[in-house]
Amino acid sequence: MPTITLPRIAEDFTARVTAVEPLLFLTRDSGLQREAIAALEQLVAELEGYRAAAAAKRAETEANILLGLRTAANGLIEELRVYLLLKAEDPDKAWDALVRSQAAFAAAMRAHASFAYLAAKADHLRALERYMFPPIQFVSAGLIVREQVCSICRADYSACDHLAGRPYCGQFCAVILKQVEPDHIALVDEPANRHCRITAIGTATGRRNVMTWRVTRSKAGDTPYVEGQLIADSIIATTSDFGRESADGAEVPTPVGAVEQTEAKETSDGDQGRQE
Amino acid sequence: MADGTITAEDYIDVRARANALGCTLGEGLVFLPDNFASAASANDFVVRGEITTIRKVLNTGGVASAVLSAEAARPAGFVHNKSHDWMVPMLFVGSELLKTSPDLLGMAIDLIREYAAGLLTGGEKDRQAKLEVVVERSKQRSYRKISYEGDVAGLDAVADMIAKIHADDNASADR
């Protein structure tokens, strides 16, 4: 690979991102948005190559900046997917893309201080969430964990010097959770993981999707609807909850069907005080 | 500008409770298990998952800490709550530590605040930090729990309140 300087990479990044920015609206042509995604995926691949090379020569700051550029480009890809998926009437997947976009920009800001300007993008995505999607009931899982492993050095997390959430030579440190037992599930207003949410609620005739409001007829094996009980389909955890989140927050939600919560109001007070 | 709420309330006799569970409180900063007040035995202890990171942060800054445990008990499980807010495990500060190293808690909170500020970068603006510290008042042999909830910048308020409790304690002893 020919030698290319970081300022030159940053300049190229800015030019290619600027070319895509006019397409970050719901009304734009889907074909153009798909082309933009392809162009950004090419950019991500190139940035990943530069990041890996910088990490290999232990150029810490350079590797972290390249990590930030790559995650920011991924954030734009996911934002474009939000618009495409909304136009395709797939709001559930659009929501997941929005959460991945938010996670990617937040990760870029943690990668290096030079990405602080992305706070405005984070605000924009928060506004999109508020105005484009209905109110969401989030779910928060509490886990008891017996073993924690560092994602950087693969040692016992308590025995190494890496700190969760910090970038190390182009890679974020995460805690990998092992020997995990579920402890509780709570309904919360603000979860750490916004993929975790109620996706459908039981009605007398079937499951109502909370995004589309469509009711799908009940099928054999579904928990029967009982007046006064909340029967809900919910995503309660994703791979990121076990520390395998990529640096871009690009985890795949893991749906867990039919979480039953009788007397839902009793569990709507969040996590606090529910562990003992 | 810092924004948060801080409250103080009486807390159980930490030394008596630790003894009853077969645990010995060290002289330095001690993190208490999440279920310290209610656990049937030390084998049932669980601690917040953040505890490992926070102890590393403190250690790097030259502040030693321990986690309350009983010698023969199995290691405490880590509780990972996937909630929005960032919670520091409950800290215990003995009266002797306040007397001999009055600045230690302030140093610890500075280190925690600095780490949390970096960690919460890029998240939602309303993401809160929570911290509880139990302080021992030697003369009255009583315990107060100070609870903070608010933005990261406001964590300093906890050290200020504990310094005030300690000063009041000393003043009442002099009278």
Single out the residue of A172, A129, A145 nearest to residue B34, CA to CA: A145
Question: Smallest CA–CA separation between B12 and chain A, in Å?
Answer: 16
Phi, psi values for residue B132, rounded to 5°: -125, 135
- Residues of chain A above pLDDT 70, percent: 86
Helices (H), A4-139: 6-20, 30-56, 60-87, 91-111, 119-132
For chain A, the domains span: 6-132, 138-267
* A180 vs B126: which has the higher pLDDT: A180
Residues 6+ apart with CB under 8 A from A146: A178, A179, A180, A181, B75, B77, B78
Question: Smallest CA–CA separation between B38 and chain A, in Å?
Answer: 7
pTM, 2 dp: 0.82
Which of A163-177, A233-247, B123-137 has the weakest average pLDDT? Answer: A233-247
Single out the residue of B145, B77, B96 nearest to residue A148, CA to CA: B77
Question: Smallest CA–CA separation between A275 and chain B, in Å?
Answer: 8
Please judge whether B34 and A276 are an interchain contact, meaning their C-beta atoms are less than 8 angstroms apart: yes
Q: Are strands B77-81 and B46-48 parallel, antiparallel or unpaired?
A: parallel
Average pLDDT, chain B: 86
Query: In angstroms, what CA-CA distances link B35 with A27, A272, B18, B74?
Result: 53, 12, 12, 15
The span from the CA of B100 to the CA of A266, in Å, is: 46
Residues 6+ apart with CB under 8 A from B33: B39, B45, B46, B47, B67, B68, B76
pLDDT for A267 equals: 29
Please judge whether B82 and A141 are an interchain contact, meaning their C-beta atoms are less than 8 angstroms apart: yes
Query: Does residue A14 register a pLDDT over 90?
Result: yes
Which of A129-143, A235-249, B59-73 has the weakest average pLDDT? Answer: A235-249
Please judge whether A196 and B56 are an interchain contact, meaning their C-beta atoms are less than 8 angstroms apart: no
Highest mean pLDDT among A27-31, A190-194, B40-44, B99-103: A27-31
Chain A neighbors of B79, CB-CB under 8 A: 142-145, 183, 275
Q: At what angle do helices A30-56 and A60-87 cross, to 10 degrees?
A: 160
Mean pLDDT of A214-235: 82
Please judge whether A158 and B126 are an interchain contact, meaning their C-beta atoms are less than 8 angstroms apart: no
Single out the residue of B50, B10, B7, B11 nearest to residue B31, CA to CA: B50
Q: How many distinct structural domains can be found in chain B?
A: 1
* Token pair listed for A64: 């972290």
pLDDT for B122 equals: 61
Among the partner-chain residues A105, A148, A190, the one whose CB lies closest to the CB of B122 is A105
Highest mean pLDDT among A9-13, B93-97, B163-167: A9-13
Average pLDDT, chain A: 84
DSSP-assigned letter for residue A23: G
Mean pLDDT of A29-45: 98
Among the partner-chain residues B60, B79, B122, the one whose CB lies closest to the CB of A106 is B122
Model pLDDT for residues A251-260, shown as the tens digit of each residue: 433 333 333 3
Chain B neighbors of A143, CB-CB under 8 A: 79-82
Residues 6+ apart with CB under 8 A from A161: B56, B60
Phi, psi values for residue B143, rounded to 5°: -130, 135
Among the partner-chain residues A105, A144, A158, the one whose CB lies closest to the CB of B77 is A144
Single out the residue of A62, A48, A97 nearest to residue A76, CA to CA: A97
Model pLDDT for residues B44-96, shown as the tens digit of each residue: 999 988 899 999 999 999 999 999 988 888 888 898 876 666 788 899 999 88
Query: Does residue B169 register a pLDDT over 80?
Result: no
Which residue from A minimizes the CA distance to B81? A142
Which residue from A minimizes the CA distance to B33? A276
* B114 vs A78: which has the higher pLDDT: A78
Single out the residue of B93, B95, B96, B89 nearest to residue B106, CA to CA: B93
Domain that holds residue B100: 4-174
Mean pLDDT of A59-73: 97
Question: Smallest CA–CA separation between B52 and chain A, in Å?
Answer: 6
Among the partner-chain residues A107, A189, A193, the one whose CB lies closest to the CB of B122 is A107
Query: In angstroms, what CA-CA distances link B61 with A68, B109, B114, B131?
Result: 27, 11, 11, 19
Residues 6+ apart with CB under 8 A from B6: B146, B147, B148, B150, B154, B157, B158, B161
Bridge partners of B46, per DSSP, are B77
**Which residue numbers of A have CB closer than 8 Å to B's CBs?**
105-110, 116, 118-119, 122, 126, 140-146, 148, 157-158, 161, 163-166, 175, 177, 181, 183, 186, 188-193, 196, 237, 241, 270-272, 275-276
Query: Does residue A51 register a pLDDT over 80?
Result: yes
Please judge whether A163 and B46 are an interchain contact, meaning their C-beta atoms are less than 8 angstroms apart: no
Question: Smallest CA–CA separation between B67 and chain A, in Å?
Answer: 12
- Residues of chain B above pLDDT 70, percent: 89
Mean pLDDT of A267-276: 27
Give the pLDDT band of residue A241 (cuts 50, 70, 90).
low
Single-letter residue type at A254? T
Give the pLDDT band of residue A84 (cuts 50, 70, 90).
very high
- Residues of chain B above pLDDT 90, percent: 43
Which of A78-87, A234-243, B15-24 has the weakest average pLDDT? Answer: A234-243
Which residue from A minimizes the CA distance to B55? A158
Query: Does residue A46 register a pLDDT over 90?
Result: yes
Model pLDDT for residues B146-161, shown as the tens digit of each residue: 999 988 888 888 888 8
Strand order in the sheet with A215-217: A215-217, A206-209, A198-202, A230-238, A253-261
Chain B neighbors of A155, CB-CB under 8 A: none
